[in-house]
């Protein structure tokens, strides 16, 4: 078994309204910042042990499907890296 960290990034699908991100963007503009757009996403860093990188990636993908993301409104992506055990 090897120690991995899987990073799962969960973001709203294109076209789904994100009032929190809009509020954040307007607050930054009110502070004087000039920006074109702002998107918010959730990031989960999951430490897990797996046989190999493919197994770690598959397990993290299942976690996203079953709990971390809502497939109706979210897209997600998984990145896997070895970690110091």
- Quick one: tokens of 7? 């990073």
Is residue 67 close enough to count as binding a copy of itself by CB under 8 A? yes
Instruction: Name beta bridge partners: 81.
Output: 5
77 lies in the site for a copy of itself, by CB under 8 A:
no
C-alpha atoms less than 13 angstroms from C-alpha of 74 in its C-beta half-sphere: 18
Cross-strand pairs, 76: 10
Subset of residues 28 to 57 that bind a copy of itself, contact rule: CB under 8 A: 28, 31, 33-49
* Contact residues: a copy of itself, CB under 8 A: 3, 9, 21, 24, 27-28, 31, 33-49, 59, 62-63, 66-68
């Amino acid at each position: 078994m090897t120690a991995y960290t899987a990073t799962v990034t969960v973001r709203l699908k294109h076209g789904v309204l994100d009032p929190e991100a809009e509020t954040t963007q307007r607050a930054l503009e009110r502070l004087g910042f000039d920006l074109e757009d702002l998107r918010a996403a959730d990031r989960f860093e999951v430490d897990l042990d797996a046989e190999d990188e493919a197994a770690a990636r598959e397990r993290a993908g299942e976690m996203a499907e079953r709990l971390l993301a809502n497939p109706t409104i979210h897209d997600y992506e998984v990145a896997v890296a070895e970690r110091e055990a």
